[in-house]
Chains A and B, each alone.
Chain A
Amino acid sequence: MDLQNLAYALTQVAHNFGAAAVVAAPLFARWPLRADAAVRHRLAWLVLAGWVVQGMSGAGFGAISYAYYGAFPDIHGIAVAALLLKMACAAGGVVLAALMLRWGARWSDDAHHCAWGGLLLLGATALTAAAFLRWFS
Chain B
Amino acid sequence: MHSLRGFVLALVSGLLLSGAVWAAEGSVTISAPQEGARLDAMAENRISYAVEPGPRGDHVHLYVDGAEVAVLRRLKGSYPLPTLAAGARDVCVKVVNKGHTPIGVERCVKVMVD
Contacts and interface: CB of A to CB of B under 8 A. Distances in A.
Interface of A: 2-4, 7-8, 61, 64-65, 67-69, 71-76, 79, 136-137
A68 B96 CA distance: 12
Interface in B1-38: 11, 14-16, 18-19, 22-23
Contacts of A64: 99
Contacts, number: 54
Contacts of B103: 69
Main secondary structure on A side of the interface with B: helix
Interface residues of B, number: 23
Interface of B: 11, 14-16, 18-19, 22-23, 56, 61, 67-68, 71, 94, 96-104
Contact of B100 (A3, A7, A137): A137
B68 A69 contact: no
Given A65-B99, A68-B19, 16 more contacts: A2-B18, A3-B18, A4-B18, A4-B22, A68-B23, A69-B19, A69-B23, A69-B102, A71-B102, A72-B101, A73-B96, A74-B61, A74-B68, A74-B96, A75-B68, A137-B71
